[in-house]
């Protein structure tokens, strides 16, 4: 049986997810990095191993509930434990509400919210067996304050907050915490496509006048995954440069 604590991170192939994988590995976890494609995951895991950490890549479509639940069960059985679950993977299908198709709404809700529900329901069992665990859901400031043109995305991220607070109450007695990290505008592939004018406009609404970086989100996840957060549950930590106050 593996004695190293195990963390399961979805959307671990790039951006915020890759930063979380690297940070948790640095913290001493064996990290299972999950994404649809194994190619980029392998690069992230190689970086972890080069830095002296422990990680493995697992290709899985988290929108497939059966596949996701099976993957979590397989990892927990293989390592004899599952200590941390980070639901980070997400998609966008932006559009104004009057033009948004049902499919665009459903895909975002299924990938961003339902997958977290399935993952939490599955991961809770091995966590209960080892009498403790950390569940961390990556929400968004859009889920806290809303965002025009992102009704589906904001709904999914707000749903994560409600889900997290409910799970926190249900599992607190089992020594399992559940919290949210809500990033603001972070320098990732998603924000790189914005032109300079839009970026400058957005920065004008951020008190710190800059975008965040993935490592700053990973630092918040590191805290919530560690021993120092043992009495923190049901909370939303906004890492947004002061956008939401």
CA distances from 124 to 35, 132, 151, 168 (A): 21, 9, 30, 11
> What is the spatial distance between Cα 184 and Cα 209, in angstroms, rounded to a whole number?
12
Q: How far apart are the first and last CA of the chain?
A: 45
Q: Clarify whether 231 is annotated catalytic.
A: no
Q: Considering Cα of 213, then 220, then 87, then 80, what sign does the dihedral take?
A: positive
| Closest listed residue to residue 140, CA positions, set 116, 169, 119 | 116
Any idea what the Cα angle at residue 100 is, between residues 94 and 101, rounded to 5°?
Answer: 120
In this structure, what token pair is assigned to residue 53? Answer: 């950490």
Point out the catalytic residue in the list 105, 153, 185, 211.
Answer: 153
Residues tagged active-site: 153
């Amino acid at each position: 049986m593996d004695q190293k604590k195990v963390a399961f991170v979805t959307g671990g192939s790039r951006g915020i997810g890759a930063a979380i994988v690297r940070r948790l590995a640095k913290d001493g976890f064996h990290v299972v990095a999950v994404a649809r494609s194994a190619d980029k995951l392998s690069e992230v895991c190689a970086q972890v191993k080069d830095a002296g950490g422990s990680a493995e890549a697992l290709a899985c479509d988290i929108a497939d509930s059966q596949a996701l639940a099976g993957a979590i069960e397989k990892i927990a059985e293989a390592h004899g434990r599952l200590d941390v679950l980070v639901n980070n993977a997400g998609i966008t299908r932006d559009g104004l509400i009057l033009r948004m198709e049902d499919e665009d709404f459903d895909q975002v809700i299924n990938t961003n919210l339902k997958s977290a529900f399935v993952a939490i329901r599955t991961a809770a069992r091995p966590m209960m067996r080892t009498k403790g665990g950390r569940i961390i859901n990556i929400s968004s400031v859009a889920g806290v304050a809303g965002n025009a043109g992102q009704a589906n995305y904001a709904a999914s991220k707000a749903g994560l907050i409600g889900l997290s607070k409910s799970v926190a109450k249900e599992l607190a007695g089992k020594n399992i915490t559940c919290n949210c990290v809500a990033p603001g505008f972070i320098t990732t592939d998603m924000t790189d496509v914005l032109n300079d004018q839009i970026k400058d406009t957005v920065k004008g609404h951020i008190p710190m006048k800059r975008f965040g970086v993935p490592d700053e989100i990973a630092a918040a996840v590191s805290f919530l995954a560690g021993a120092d957060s043992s009495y923190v549950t049901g909370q939303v930590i906004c890492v947004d440069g002061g956008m939401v106050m």
